[in-house]
Structures are given as structure tokens and as C-alpha cells.
Amino acid sequence: MDMFEEQDIYREYPKEKKPSGKKIALIVIAAVLVLALVAGGAFFGGTLYAGSQSIESDMPMVKAVIDALNKYYIEDINWEELQYMIAQAIAGNIDPYTGLVESTPIGMKTKSVGITFEYDDYCRYYISEIAPGSPAATTTSANGSAVKLMIGDEVVAINGKDVRHLNNSAFSQYIASIEDEMQIVVYRRNGDSIVGQYTFDLQKTMFHAPLAYYLDSDVTGMPSNVGYIKLTEFGDTASEDFAAAVNEFLSDPDKPNKLVLDLRGNGGGSVQICGFIASYFVKQNGTNTGIPMARYEYNSGNGKMLEEYFYTSNTYASEVDDSTLRSVNLYDEVDGFGCVVLVNGRSASSSELLTATLSYYSGIKSIGSKTYGKGVAQVVIPYSNGKYELYITNGKYYIPSLKDGKTVFETNIHGVGITPDIISDASGIYYMAVDPCLRDAAEYLTTVSSAEAA
């Protein structure tokens, strides 16, 4: 099961064939500019300009097409929609990360059953994520058993329709057409053998889909001293959700002192959130500004190149309410603490920055397969009363390394990625009990890491 593509975890339609992160603001660069590290996204709005003049002088073909449509087209034209399509086409064809998107309200609840689907080369669909607290997480099988859906289950039918081998577009459209009730039939396998077929009657509901969550050993099947946190993206409520997940880890009755941080499939997001999460694992040594994670070279406007640094921070001003979150350092909180990070080819941008930061400053090992390799960042410009956002690639970031005994920031991972310390099979969707990355992580944390701590 390799070459998996994933669907949006709570909107239930497949993503583009590249990592993507939500469109979340980072640091204010100008009155309306913010910065984000994501593997996807973008917008436009308002009046369209090119170069220093106007559409008529700089883009005569665009002007001619608009004039011809206005003069000859038989039906009325929705010029707002047309303008959006034109802007999307212009911005979206410059590079994979520049483009136009519709804004998403922060902390927005979605109506969903809480499933992420992924598919393989043969368009077989699998469950790759189940949102805690969602209908998919709480509903038991309609077969009369106490069985619940599991990550790794193969999807056979939805609402009576056999979805096996549907192409991506057809599957997406079908899922999007389901308004309220979703009956899903799955196969449960042991290797290649089908050991069960289960039916689940799910009802779409409005709920907050956490971007980070904690699972204990009863769920993951790892040793009782190993906890697990999944971080799906660095956006929206990720800081709040991650803080809650850490609190669950610290209050776990089994008192685990090892942690698996799973960044597989995480396409990135806010560098500010990345810096806050990094502070749980990297000591700031009493500094107010934090520890530098990366050097950022960017176009501040009209080709004027500047540079600045991204830092860790043990505080975060919540975008959901007026509160201020404060991190704790897990090495101080937990005796004999150890951690590993799981990555794969869809771990991008801020995921790669966090992996590099934790590796350099805390010696935290990574397990899995080579990461995506996105070493650029975008400014985000809001338009049209906040309805749209334009993402523009405007800089490169450089991660830390040691040179002549000093920390330097000279390594850009764009197009290269990060090769993990321990190579493990991260190409497919597995039941957690047989997930190769989790098994390798548990072995490392309970043998090598424990020996190093001792």
C-alpha cells in the first residue's frame, strides 16, 4: 500500500496530490501581510493588476477576452465569480505554493463524521484518521457487536454504493453529496486476509476537530510507558489542541515517560505555532526571545531582500480567545523523558522545521521516510472583506547545523527534504498494532533511548 493520497480529515474529500496545510496567519509583516509555512494554498480579489501599469497595457490578452465576453456572450456573466477564477489561474500557475483561496474562520466547527480517507494506486480507500470525539470515534458497529472503526480499515461501500476502485474525482463528489447520514461498510484485515466485515451508521454532526490529540497505550498497542501525540497541521487551533494533548500525556494514569510525536501527513502551517510547540521540547535557557529555529531570507517588497530569524516561544496568544497559552518543558516535567518524531513524504514545511529544530537542539531522533522538502514560505494577503487570501512565495528558510563549533543557518531543504535517522516503512496505512513506524519508535524508546537516559 504505497503512493497514498489523503483526504481532508474532516471535510471528507481528497486533497491535491501534494502536501497541504491550512491557511493560517503567522507574523505580521505589514498592515495586511502575514507569513505562513504551508505546502499549498493561495488567492486574489479586488482589482487585477500586472507589473506597474494596468491590465490593458501589461495583459492585453486578458483585457481582450474580458471585453469579448462582455460584448458577445449569450448569458449573463457572474463577474465576481469570473474575477475569482481569473485570479486563481494567474496566482495558481506561478508555483505550487502561490495562489488564491477562500478564507476559513478560525476555530470553525465542521459538519462531519470525522474520518480521513486515503487511497492507494488502485483507488482502494482506507481510513487513515479518526477525529477524537467524532461520530466515527464513538459509534459501534450496526452488526450488533461492540466493534468500532479503526485506522487501517478498508472502505467497501458508503450508503449502499460500492466505492472500491472509484477514481478520486468520483469518490470526492460522492462523499460531498452526502448531507447527514453515512452508512459505511469496511473490511478488517489481518495481513491480506479479511477477518471481518462491519457496518457503521454514522450521523454527521457539528464538532471541533482537534488538530492535535493524545492516544494512550491501550489504543496504540505500544508499551504502557510510551504515549502518542498526533499533530495533523500547524494551523487554526493547533496550539490549544497540542497543549491539551500534552496535559493528557502528563495525566495518563500509566505515567508514561516516552512520547511519539507523529508528523506524518502534516503539510505545515504557522511558524509561530511551530515555535510554540518546539518549546515543549527545547529549553530556552532563560532567554525571552527563545532559541532560533531558522534564518529567513525574504522579499520585503519590490525586490528588497531582508532576513530575520524564527524563534521558539514558550507563550502563544490564542487566536480562539484572549488567553495566553504557556508551554512546559517536558524534559523538566517528566523524569527520564524521551521522544521520537515520525515523518514521511507528506511531512512538509513547519513539520520539517520542527523536526530539524528538535533534532539539532534536543537530539530527538526522527523515524520514517524522507520528508517532502519545502524550504520556502509565503506571505498571506487578505482581500475582499476577508473572504479570500492570496498566498505569495516570498522567501527561503535555512535550518541550523554545526560548523566549526558554531551554530550556523546555511541549510535549505527545498526540494531535498530531511532523511530520518531511522528508516521505517511509512508508505501505507496500517492498523496501529502493526504500524512499522510505531513499532520501530517503541523499540527505540524502550531500549536505546532508555539506555541513553540511564
Q: Is residue 12 part of a domain?
A: no
Shared domain check, 371 and 236: yes
Q: Is residue 33 part of a domain?
A: no
Shared domain check, 159 and 82: no
Q: How far apart are CA 126 and CA 128, in angstroms?
A: 6
Which amino acid is present at 404? D
- Per the DSSP assignment, residues forming a β-bridge with 7 are 14
Shared domain check, 411 and 447: yes
Residues in CB range of 87: below 8 A, 6 or more apart: 43, 44, 45, 48, 100, 390
pLDDT of residue 322: 81
State CA 197 to chain mean position distance. Answer: 31
- CA dihedral sign, ordered 360, 363, 364, 368: positive
State CA 126 to chain mean position distance. Answer: 18
Q: Which domain holds residue 313?
A: 212-376+395-453
Q: Is residue 7 part of a domain?
A: no
Which amino acid is present at 84? Y
Indicate the number of domains in the chain.
3
Shared domain check, 282 and 176: no
- Bridge-based pairing state of the strands 5-6 and 110-112: unpaired
Shared domain check, 137 and 256: no
Which amino acid is present at 437? C
pLDDT of residue 328: 95
Q: Is residue 358 part of a domain?
A: yes
Q: How far apart are CA 165 and CA 71, in angstroms?
A: 45
Shared domain check, 118 and 85: no
Residue 440 maps to which CATH number?
3.90.226.10
Shared domain check, 404 and 324: yes
Shared domain check, 445 and 370: yes
Q: Specify whether the CB–CB gap between 103 and 389 falls below 8 A.
A: yes
pLDDT of residue 57: 79
Q: How far apart are CA 99 and CA 39, in angstroms?
A: 11
pLDDT of residue 214: 96
What's the pLDDT tens digit per position in 62-109? 889 888 998 999 999 898 888 888 888 888 899 999 999 888 766 566
Q: To 10 degrees, what angle do helices 238-251 and 271-278 make?
A: 20
Residue 197: strand, helix, or coil = strand
Shared domain check, 311 and 361: yes
pTM above 0.95, yes or no: no
Shared domain check, 119 and 78: no
Q: How far apart are CA 28 and CA 379, in angstroms?
A: 9
pLDDT of residue 28: 23
Shared domain check, 157 and 274: no
Q: Specify whether the CB–CB gap between 36 and 267 falls below 8 A.
A: no
Q: Which three cell numbers stand for residue 105?
A: 474562520
State which residues of the chain have pLDDT below 70.
1-55, 105-110, 286-288, 384-385, 449-454
Q: Is residue 387 part of a domain?
A: no
Shared domain check, 235 and 179: no
